[in-house]
Structure 1
Amino acid sequence: MSDTSGLRNFADLLHGRPAVPKPVADDVTTRYHLFPEFPSKKAKSPFHMSDAGEIWPPPPLDDEDVLTEILCRLPPQPSSFLHASLTCKLWGRLVSSVAFRRRVRDHHRHAPIFGVYEKHARTLRFIPSLDAPDRIPPERFSLKVCADGSATVDNWGMLGCRHGRVLVINLTRRELLVFDPVSGDRHVIALPLDFVNHRCTANGAVVCCEDQGAGHFRVVLVGVLGNGGEVAARVYSSETGEWGELLAAPEPCRVGRLPCTMVGNGLYWWLAEPLGSILQFDFGTHSLTIIDKPPIADINIGCSRIIRGKDGTQLGLAVLSYPTLQIYDRQVGSHGALMWVLRKTLHMDKILGLPAGMADGNTYIRGYSEDAAAIVMSAHHGVRNALYIVHLESMKHMKIHGNFFENLYHPFANFYIGRL
């Protein structure tokens, strides 16, 4: 393969066009030259100079580092990485590594949303949002939760998804299920006895632990354990396979059914009682804290979501009062007190091309992904319910086609490297 054809092939990848694999030699170090090859040590090259002043081609390790750095700048859509992995064995090995995925996430910051999950009878149904060639077939990521032959449907629900994992609770079977749609791996966790015995209303979250490696994760389960409204939490570690000690909230409250949001080192849930307040779980201190209801007029939990603030480490809120969507950040004021500050107001009718005069109750926020910094918004216009994914930073949006009547949709975002 000539150097010019190699560069042309790489340029195609950078622009999202598929590369054409070429017949290659057995030695993987000579299979693909990202830059022109210099046959002589005396040739002038910008890559490496010895102490004696001689010019040398870069060593293979440096080549891989540079190549990895360039590959991680490919568009984050699934087809980009798939085409790169098929170019040659070297590229395939680099693209499929855990280190590469970490560098891709650090570079792009926000993962693409592949679609949304909804509860549908016995199945957790995946609804793809991307077009070909990036579209994930629904059957690839959907999950059968209840057996078809059973006389009754289990009492189950989806609690959320994060870091490429999906968390499902099955109260009939008294278990949690952590599902990796990309690999197909499933991890079943028995509910702790104190959550089962009190028949509590539970919510929870899954968080991956990259610092521990080997695909380890933690599950935080919160719920009301008694008639007096005592809320407590436990943390499960996949590394130990055990639940941690019971952690009690400082005062009675009731956790709502909406998924939590991870901000910095904490998880945050809307509370149903006191309505509009926020429950915080801190991974650093392993403690629960209640944050007072934000002093925002006419805040409606069904039209609001806890989001990440502008800097990514502080709390934020997205409040929909159609046709406007207001974004708030929780900041430290001049006197050291925390306060909610309006960052921007967005006119969703103009962004989505919807009528400005739609009646109240026709638009809702149905989901949020901190992995993608995007909300899922529903709009009832005419005889159909439309679903939109709106990225809160770029304001890019997409419409998911179909009819949607559920109150909750879970956007699934990830950097996917695999078959389509």
Structure 2
Amino acid sequence: MAPSLTELLEELVGEILLRLSPDEPADLLRASLVCKRWCRLLSDPFFRLRYCRYHRTPPLLGFVHDEDNVPGFVSTVASPCSVPALDCRWVLDSHHGRILFYCFAPTGLVVWDPLTREQQQVPLPPYPYSHNHYTATVLCSVAGCDHLDCHGGPFLVVFVANHDEDDASIWVSVYSSETGAWGASSTSELKLAVDMFPSLRIGDALYFMVDDGESILVYDLAGRGLSAIEVPNKELEERGIVMMLEDGRLGVAGVEDRRLYLWSWQEAGAGWKECKIIELATLLALSNTLVSIAVVGFVEGTDTVFLSIDADIFTLKIKSGLVKKVDENGPYSVVIPYTGFYLP
């Protein structure tokens, strides 16, 4: 039997809604208010799955910072996210729809999903660690997950720290939400001071900027091994960041003399290769030679970086050169982007 006109119209509406850009969730919210039928369609789990797979890359919804030891969420769209009422001191990381905090009441870690509002407490690892030299990462732990819409599933927390103030060797422990326990620690004789900066994941490797931005710590999630790479330039005006480049390689971005430099890590012992220079003074029309510029974050899976320019925060798309001002209440030493598909 041929489909009815009503069925055809509903299918057509579904195809139109499917193509609404995820970059502005307010458009989807307004569409859900048109009528009950559109609201049911947009809230249907199958439509949500199609929508995520159609657009593939979760959009940037905002970023978290913790200047003055008070975490704050800055929305870059008309999204409903705000930091929950937690006694938090630091924000550590964000991956796969979750944000990781260090909190004091009670002392421990909190994994927060801004879209579902779900919070999960994670105890600190049972190992003596330095309160001044540690960081942590939260990751989805579902095998084969595409991380487009993995809310509510099991997760891992990777905790990296120095042994103590006098011993700069590094140890790593991994927490599983499925077991509710920390695994055995991996240790290394690498003498590097762990910095509280977010990580980058490429494949089975996590990359952390350490030693005040002069080295990159590499943690193998599969083999539990630790290694280190020196950054390509230790004379940058401000600390650089690690990021994934368009070809999937490990990259480093840093600012020197009002220019943004990008380096690409070459395999087989070839080291770093300078791959791009962007004249920020020209791109941003900077007339003040005393302006302070730093690259303070990146959006994983994209070519977008965050620039702190005095009190203003901008996003910069490396390939297109598109710049957008997203905040004017800085400066921030680091921002941690939050990405995800928000549907009503």
Structure 1 length-normalised TM: 0.70
Could you list the per-position Cα deviations for residues 301-333 of structure 1 after superposition, in whole angstroms to 9, with x for gaps in the alignment? x34110002222x2111121242212221123x
Fraction of identical pairs, as percent: 26
Corresponding letter in the other structure for 2:82: F
Corresponding letter in the other structure for 1:234: S
1:278 aligns with 2:216: yes
Residue 136 of structure 1: aligned partner? 79
Name the larger-Rg structure.
1
1:74 aligns with 2:20: yes
Task: Identify unmatched segments of 5+ residues in structure 1.
Answer: 1-27, 36-62, 147-153
Contact 1:74/1:81, CA 8 A, preserved across alignment:
yes
1:358 aligns with 2:284: no
Could you list the per-position Cα deviations for residues 322-351 of structure 1 after superposition, in whole angstroms to 9, with x for gaps in the alignment? 42212221123xxx3332222222122232
Rate the CA distance shift 1:110–1:346 in 2: closer, same or farther, 3 A. farther
Deviation at 1:100, TM superposition (A): 5.5
Deviation at 1:287, TM superposition (A): 2.0
1:33 aligns with 2:8: yes
Contact 2:245/2:251, CA 8 A, preserved across alignment:
yes
Rate the CA distance shift 1:168–1:297 in 2: closer, same or farther, 3 A. closer
Deviation at 1:158, TM superposition (A): 0.8
Contact 1:218/1:238, CA 8 A, preserved across alignment:
yes
Residue 295 of structure 1: aligned partner? 232
Runs (4 or more) in structure 1 with deviation over 4 Å come to 28-32, 66-72, 83-107, 120-123
Rate the CA distance shift 1:373–1:205 in 2: closer, same or farther, 3 A. farther
Residue 411 of structure 1: aligned partner? 337
Rate the CA distance shift 1:79–1:167 in 2: closer, same or farther, 3 A. same
Residue 55 of structure 1: aligned partner? none
Secondary structure in structure 2 of the residue aligned to 1:79: helix
| Mapped partners of 2:221, 2:175: distance in 1 | 12
Residue 10 of structure 1: aligned partner? none
Residue 156 of structure 2: aligned partner? 218
Rate the CA distance shift 1:282–1:339 in 2: closer, same or farther, 3 A. same
Larger RCO: 1 or 2 (CA < 8 Å, sep 6+): 2
Residue 196 of structure 2: aligned partner? 257
Deviation at 1:238, TM superposition (A): 1.3
Secondary structure in structure 1 of the residue aligned to 2:127: helix
Rate the CA distance shift 1:372–1:34 in 2: closer, same or farther, 3 A. farther
Contact 2:194/2:211, CA 8 A, preserved across alignment:
yes
Contact 1:266/1:281, CA 8 A, preserved across alignment:
yes
Secondary structure in structure 2 of the residue aligned to 1:285: coil
Secondary structure in structure 2 of the residue aligned to 1:234: strand
Contact 1:162/1:207, CA 8 A, preserved across alignment:
yes
How many matched pairs? 334
What are the equivalent positions in structure 2 for 1:10-409 lying under 5 Å apart?
31-34=6-9, 71-76=17-22, 77-85=24-32, 95-96=42-43, 104-119=51-66, 123-130=70-77, 135-136=78-79, 140-146=81-87, 156-170=89-103, 173-195=106-128, 199=131, 201-211=133-143, 214-226=152-164, 227-272=166-211, 276-291=214-229, 293-296=230-233, 298-300=235-237, 302-312=238-248, 314-332=249-267, 336-355=268-287, 358-359=289-290, 362-380=292-310, 385-409=311-335
Corresponding letter in the other structure for 2:260: L
Deviation at 1:97, TM superposition (A): 6.0
Contact 2:162/2:194, CA 8 A, preserved across alignment:
yes
Deviation at 1:79, TM superposition (A): 2.6
| Mapped partners of 2:243, 2:306: distance in 1 | 12
| Mapped partners of 1:268, 1:243: distance in 2 | 21
Deviation at 1:286, TM superposition (A): 2.1
Secondary structure in structure 1 of the residue aligned to 2:8: coil
Residue 9 of structure 1: aligned partner? none
| Mapped partners of 2:15, 2:187: distance in 1 | 45
Corresponding letter in the other structure for 2:286: L
Secondary structure in structure 2 of the residue aligned to 1:350: helix
Corresponding letter in the other structure for 1:79: A
| Mapped partners of 1:285, 1:86: distance in 2 | 50
When the two chains are superposed, the root-mean-square deviation of aligned CA atoms in Å is 3.1
Deviation at 1:237, TM superposition (A): 1.2
Rate the CA distance shift 1:210–1:417 in 2: closer, same or farther, 3 A. farther
| Mapped partners of 1:186, 1:320: distance in 2 | 36
Secondary structure in structure 2 of the residue aligned to 1:184: coil
Structure 2 length-normalised TM: 0.84
Deviation at 1:257, TM superposition (A): 2.1
Secondary structure in structure 2 of the residue aligned to 1:33: helix
